Amino acid sequence: MKIFLPLFIFISTASYSQSADFIQLKKHKHVINTYFSGGNISFTATSGTYFDGLINGIKDDTLYLQQFVVRYVPTTLGTYIIDTVGSYHYKYHYNQIKAIGKTEKKNFNWRGSGASLMGGAALITIGSGLVYAFDRKKFSAPLLYTAMGLGGLGYLISKAGTGGMIIGKKYHLEYMKMSK
């Protein structure tokens, strides 16, 4: 037996494994993220529904997904525990994904800043209109034009900070079929 052990170590046996299909999110030609079975994904579908859950499988251009229902359940001691009440199973074709992710930035909020700039510009514009109506000697046309310009700039800033990565010209999904 001791003679055969080194022989078995150096003899390789053929073993086959089947890799699973996966989906890649690309920005132009660069891969940003790869989604496999067993991983999490969050996206907005073309129907407008937002999904955040587990990928059970990817096969034939379809994502098989599972979303868990989690609730706080009271105990006999008067405290609460987090419990999984149930789960829902969904399947989406990868072309039904409209946007990937729900970006929650923890740093500077561009959308909020743009909205604040639009609100301030609206107040200055209304104030300039009231000054023009009641006392035309104190009216300042450059202030009114600046306020309107800043309102337009605020609108552009708030539109620049959109929610997710929208699938289209810049981002696209690519299905990679690995099975036969």
Q: Radius of gyration (Cα) for the chain, nearest Å? A: 28
Q: What is the pTM of this model?
A: 0.58
Quote the tokens at residue 148.
């309107």
Domain ranges across the chain:
19-103+163-176, 110-160
- pLDDT digits 0-9 by tens, 72-98: 988 899 999 999 889 999 999 999 998
- pLDDT digits 0-9 by tens, 27-82: 988 999 999 999 999 998 888 888 899 999 998 889 999 999 999 988 899 999 99
Question: pLDDT exceeding 90 applies to what percent of the chain?
Answer: 42
**Taking residues 132-143, what's their average pLDDT?**
89
For residue 105, pLDDT beyond 80: no
CA dist 24 to 30, 72, 157, Å? 10, 35, 29
β-bridge mates for residue 66, sequence order: 54, 89
For residue 104, pLDDT beyond 80: no
Instruction: Report the alpha-carbon distance of residue 120 to residue 180 in Å, rounded.
Output: 60
CA dist 32 to 12, 111, 140, 143, 174, Å? 37, 24, 50, 45, 11
Q: In which band, very low, low, confident or very high, does the pLDDT at 162 lie, cut at 50, 70 and 90? A: low
